[in-house]
Amino acid sequence: MIFADAFAWLVDPVNWSGGRSIPVRVGVHLLYCLGAVLGAAAIAVPLGLFIGHTGRGGVLLVGGSNALRALPTLGLVTFLYLLMGGGPAGVLIALVVLAVPPILAGAYAGVQGVDRGVVDAARGMGMTGAQRLWQVEVPNALPLLVGGLRNATLQVVATASVAAYVGVETLGRPLLDGLRVLDYGQFVGGAVLIALLAVLLDALLAGVGRLVVPRGLRLSAGSRRRGVELAAAAAQPDAGGSTA
């Protein structure tokens, strides 16, 4: 029974101490994810807000970010790792590249989707462009923006596991090592840990989202994720438009 072996691996004290223990790998995994999401947010949030606010370059942005969505994660990680001559920099850049499109889509769709009547009312009240952006558009965009951050986190957590293939000590390591030495308990145990980490992080961000999103703007749980993706898909022109 594979799950019994996986459980035995998960509770074996040997795996909970030392430099290659589960806690160390969880820590490394989280550090990569945190760095990548923060880096990507620093690029994508201002860009998405700017494009959503001015309405300039939206078509280009949606097309470009959908093209990035089709990038194979393993290909990008191996490519950048070799290109940068090894080390963590290549992996980190790959994670940032993959985290940018969902955040960008969330920020752009959030600002762009604000009811025009609301924005016009703000303009009619004499608000300047900056006031409209910060006091009207950004608060209204928060549900989709947070949704975008959640999607980016999921993408990064998944890719950081894949990146163990090039040698970084993330949670993908025990899974891939288990497969190599045919230790299926470790293989499945590692997979369970990755899944748990992803589900917990997502729940955590959902909680944060509830705290920061103004009351009255809360979307139902299911419409969030699809909202971002389908909004991005729908905002696309059909003539020659494509997600790749």
Partner 1 sequence: MGEVVDYLSDAGTRAALLDMLLEHVYLSLLPLVVSVVLAVLLGLLAHRLPWAKAALAGTANVLYTIPSLALFAIIPAVIGTQVLDSANVVIALTLYTTALLVRPVADALDAVPAHVTAAATAMGFRPVRRFLAVELPLAVPVLAAGVRVGSVSNISLVSVGALIGTGGLGVLFTDGFRQRYLAPIVIGIVLTLLLALVVDLLLVWLRDRLAPWTLVGKP
Contact by Cβ (8 Å): 44, 100: yes
Q: Please select the residue that binds partner 1; options are 9, 52, 109, 229, rule is CB under 8 A.
A: 229
Amino acid at 97: V
**CA 78/CA 219 separation, integer angstroms:** 38
Q: Minimal distance in Å, beta carbon 56 to partner 1?
A: 22
* DSSP string across 119-167: HHHHHHTT--HHHIIIIIIHHHHHHHHHHHHHHHHHHHHHHHHHGGGGT
Q: Please select the residue that binds partner 1; options are 33, 40, 62, 66, rule is CB under 8 A.
A: 66
Does position 32 interact with partner 1 (CB under 8 A)? The reply is: no
Contact by Cβ (8 Å): 171, 193: yes
Does position 15 interact with partner 1 (CB under 8 A)? The reply is: no
Does position 181 interact with partner 1 (CB under 8 A)? The reply is: no
The residue (of 34 and 67) whose beta carbon lies closer to partner 1 is: 67
Contact by Cβ (8 Å): 235, 58: yes
- Interface of this chain with partner 1, residues 195 to 214, rule: CB under 8 A: 195, 198-199, 202
Give the residues lining the site for partner 1 (CB under 8 A).
Answer: 2-3, 6, 66-67, 69-76, 78-79, 81-83, 154, 157-158, 161-162, 165-166, 172, 175-176, 179, 184, 187-188, 190-192, 194-195, 198-199, 202, 221-222, 225-226, 229-230, 233-234, 238, 241-244
